Amino acid sequence: MRLSRRTGALVALVALLLVMLMPDAMAGTGGTEFKNVWTLLTGWIEGLLGRIIAIVFVVVGLVAGVVRGSIMGFVLGIASGVGLFAAPTIITNIVTATL
């Protein structure tokens, strides 16, 4: 069926009104029951365990680079180690971003 301009304008006006009346989004404000888990995992990643894993990434990348005759394995190992160490900060910034 073909809608008239008047009906289309009315639908658009009602949609705009509904959007304006919606309450603010409260994403990321709850979840305090998982705070201990987040603190534990962040502590592991940013602490000694994360450094050990980062070093393992670099060593495995170095060995893979030597076996393949390319430096890209070493670069990938460095990138993985830096990504692992920076992941909690990046995730926190993404989740707590405000518009």
CB 61 within 8 A of CB 77: yes
CB 74 within 8 A of CB 58: yes
Number of domains observed in the structure of the chain: 1
Distances (CA, A) of 34 to 28, 40, 45, 52: 12, 10, 17, 25
Helices 48-68 and 72-95, axial angle in degrees (round to 10): 150
Taking Cα atoms as reference points, which of 96, 53, 60, 98 lies closest to residue 77? Answer: 60
Tell me the residue range of the domain where 38 lies. 5-95
Share of residues in the chain with pLDDT > 70 (%): 86
> Average pLDDT of 12-23?
81
What are the tens digits of pLDDT across the range 38-70?
A: 899 989 988 899 889 888 988 888 888 888 888
CB 90 within 8 A of CB 84: no
CB 76 within 8 A of CB 9: no
pLDDT at 13 over 60: yes
CB 44 within 8 A of CB 87: no
Average pLDDT, the chain: 82
